[in-house]
Amino acid sequence: MPAIGTAMIPFTGPFTLVNGMIWPHLEVDAAAYRFRVVNTSNARFYRLNLIDADGASENAVVRQIGTDGGLLPRPVPLPADGLVLAPAERADLVVDFGRVRGPLRLTNTAADAALEPDVMQFRVRGGRAQDTSRLPDVLSAGPERIAHLPGEHDQVWVGLVPPGTGGEAHPQLWELRELAAHEVPPLPAAGVVQVTDPRTGRTRTFRQVASLFDDTVSVFIAHDAVVEWNFISFGGPPHPMHVHLVQFRIQARRRFTADFDVALGGTRSPADGFTDVPLEDFERGRKDTTVVGGGEWVSVLARFGASTGQFMYHCHILDHEDEGMMRPFVVHPPEIARFHPHPGSHPHEPYRGA
């Protein structure tokens, strides 16, 4: 962890605040309650678990009904080892206190030596309250089902490289452009990474074309285009990647062993040997933030139909974002997109003129 002055960053403190209070308690009836949870920590990831006075899990009385962008298709149980929420991720939860006895504690069981695990306490009033509520089986239609999958021209490639790359203390975000065969330099080379795409078996070569906030924009998207964003981490800490303007659908999370040379700043051999990491149930909902772990490639799909103009995407660890892991992208109206041969610039409907 790099230090600025005497502070280590990313900074994490020992206590967790809930609505501005350390270790609050909430008196609840023996009934179902809905909680809308957002992780607003600057850097800390939470693994939320509900336990009773003896420390036994009470996660079974919790159902997740929503994510970052709205209701899930169906209520889902919490993952067996707790709900991981990275900075900016949201969870809409229903907790049925009618099915428990005595006080419960919400704890953070994430591996974190500096952490006091208690988050808050629930004190359940005696007697079953009049609660006739019932969770519906079907909550929403879920994320848009996109029939027309994007082609090569609708892909955005972003590399996440570990601390130390190029002598830089912090992890970096690299915007990548794919190189044609005749453009590939002798390898390995600084700023060049290779990936063997498991979907095609083809080795693809990319060059870093932008990294810092003020570097020239390289991601242009045609309004209403469906674009696949590929976040590939070549090592380092996990990054909750957040894209403005859209709710996306997570397509895949793949794990690999990166052969990335930090001193050089490039791959020594193509990223390969990917294994699919099964998505959690809640990851099938509408998301605008998702964790990309070290040695993971996460693909997400979104339609950029909401608006045109300049927007941001970034790591949502504030200390990373402030050290450069934030970049603009531009969504063009169709009248301009037709002149821009860039990722996402091909409208799926033929251009019909103004």
Q: Which residues bind Cu ion (CB under 5 A)?
A: 239, 315, 317, 320
CB nearer to Cu ion: pick between 254 and 320: 320
Give the nearest distance from C-beta 144 to Cu ion in angstroms: 28
User: What distance in Å separates the CA atoms of residue 332 and residue 220, rounded to the nearest whole number?
Assistant: 7
The tokens for 224 are 């209403």
Total length of the chain: 354
d(CA 274, CA 201): 11
Max CA separation in the chain (angstroms): 75
DSSP 180: P
Q: Is the peptide bond before 188 cis (omega within 30 degrees of 0)?
A: yes
C-alpha to C-alpha distance for 140 and 52, rounded to whole angstroms: 32
Q: Whose Cβ is closer to Cu ion: residue 239's or residue 249's?
A: 239
Instruction: Rank residues 66 and 159 by Cβ distance to Cu ion and give the closer one.
Output: 159
Q: Give least dist CB 222 to Cu ion, A.
A: 28
Q: Which is nearest to 157 in space by CA: 271, 69, 43?
A: 271
Q: Which is nearer to Cu ion, 37 or 317 (CB)?
A: 317
Please state the closest distance from residue 89 (CB atom) to Cu ion, in A.
Answer: 13
Closest CA to 92 of 62, 119, 137, 122: 62
Smallest gap from Cβ 87 to Cu ion, in A, equals 9
Given the complex with Cu ion, which of 283 and 323 has the nearer CB atom? 323
> Closest approach of Cβ 292 to Cu ion, in Å?
9
